[in-house]
Amino acid sequence: MVVGHAGISLIIFQRDLAHSLQITLPVGSTLIPLLFASDGTHLTNYCGNNKLWPVYMTIGNIASKFRLKPSMHAWLPIAFLPMSPKGVVKISGWSVAKQELESLDMTHRILEYILRPISDAGNNRVDMIYSDEVKRCCYPRVAGWTADHSESATIHAIYFNRCPLCECPADDLGDHPLPGFEYHKRDPIRYQKLWDVKDTTSFQTSGVKPIANFLWTLPEVPWDIVRADLLHTIFLAIIDHLMEWVQAFVTEHNRLMVFEDIWRSIPPYLQVFVP
């Protein structure tokens, strides 16, 4: 089979992804990286402030230049999760924390049901027919989930003030760790073992809520499954924080007007918007 540049890039991508997932596939088989994305979406104020919670899926075998174009429809909605109400009903013997925990558990049970075909096919190969009408042995694996922080907290079933990648305590967030020391990465397999022995103390220390996570049912889930949402994490959060810091710095040194004059002096350029 003749492989072009795109095919070589795909082979390298599959090799690197297989290494990161720590899996070994039979010779001649194909890895199908499954990519997911989800986020609660506000629709409009003119229809009763309704919201949707969609879950989208695509595969990493599609080149990013096509996958990231909305017109290519490479991302397909596979489910709409139920939105939990903002307020909880005060019922005797049913605390607010218990209601929120049961709501989170219900979300994970729904995700477990939706992704059950992936779990069932995880340890077995799936024969798929390619565009060249040749049947090949494929192995689907969950490789990434694009989400913002609140979505990450829901997927990992962690507290909102905890890191979705490691078990850093809430009071130590933002501090540089000591040399040679790093916090444990979030390991779904370890959490499942803790759940089996009902070790709620370790759950509390790790910042994990005591429910059965749907990630435990999926084969070989990477610890860094949640990928950064560029819109909320980079473009809105970090840039906004950086500009506030810069403005406070130049204001303290009485250079704010000079700073703004420099921005105004930037000449126009193609596809570049002057702040």
Clarify whether residues 153 and 268 are in a common domain. Answer: no
Statement to judge: residues 204 and 268 lie in one domain: no
| Comparison of pLDDT for 51 and 138, the residue scoring more | 138
| DSSP of 45-102 | GGGTS-EE-EEEEEETTS-HHHHT-GGGT-SEEEEEPPPPPSS---BTTB-HHHHHHH
**Residue 235 within any structural domain of the chain:** no
Give domain status of residue 80, yes or no: yes
What residue numbers bound the domain in which 264 lies?
A: 243-275
- Is 255 found in the same domain as 125? no
- The answer to which of 85-94, 134-143, 159-168, 196-205 has the lowest mean pLDDT is 85-94
- Does residue 234 fall inside a structural domain? no
How many percent of the chain have pLDDT more than 90? Answer: 11
The answer as to whether 238 is a domain residue is no
Do 253 and 124 have their domain in common?
A: no
Give the confidence band of 89 by pLDDT, cuts at 50, 70, 90: low
Residues 119 and 210 in one domain: yes
Q: Are residues 162 and 265 in the same domain?
A: no
Give tens-digit pLDDT for 100-111.
Answer: 888 889 999 999
Please indicate, yes or no, whether residues 269 and 187 belong to a single structural domain of this protein.
Answer: no
Task: Compute the average pLDDT of residues 57-82.
Answer: 89
Give Cα 187 distance to the centre of its chain: 15
Q: Is residue 123 part of a domain?
A: yes
Residues 170-183 pLDDT 10s: 888 877 777 778 88
Most confident listed range (21-25, 61-65, 96-100, 223-227): 61-65
- Structural domain includes residue 132: yes
Give yes or no: residues 181 and 250 share one domain. Answer: no
Q: Report phi then psi at 146, rounded to 5.
A: -80, 125
Q: Are residues 40 and 130 in the same domain?
A: yes
The answer to whether residues 205 and 260 belong to one domain is no
In a domain, 233, yes or no: no
Q: Is the pLDDT of residue 219 over 70?
A: yes
> First vs last Cα of the chain: how many Å apart?
51
Mean pLDDT, residues 78-92 taken together:
73
The pLDDT, as a whole number, for residue 262 is 86
Q: Is residue 18's pLDDT more than 60?
A: no
My answer on whether 216 and 115 are in the same domain is yes
Domains identified in the chain, total number: 2
Mean pLDDT computed over every residue of the chain: 79
pLDDT at 148: 83
pLDDT of residue 57: 93
Give the angle subtended at the CA of 154 by the CAs of 153 and 155, to the nearest 5°.
Answer: 95
Task: Answer whether residue 119 is part of any domain.
Answer: yes
Kindly indicate the confidence band of residue 232, based on its pLDDT and cuts at 50, 70 and 90: low
Q: Are residues 260 and 184 in the same domain?
A: no
Per-residue pLDDT at 238: 79
- Strand locations in 154-252, DSSP E? 226-228
* DSSP 8-class letter at 188: H
- Please list the residues that pair with 42 across neighbouring strands: 51
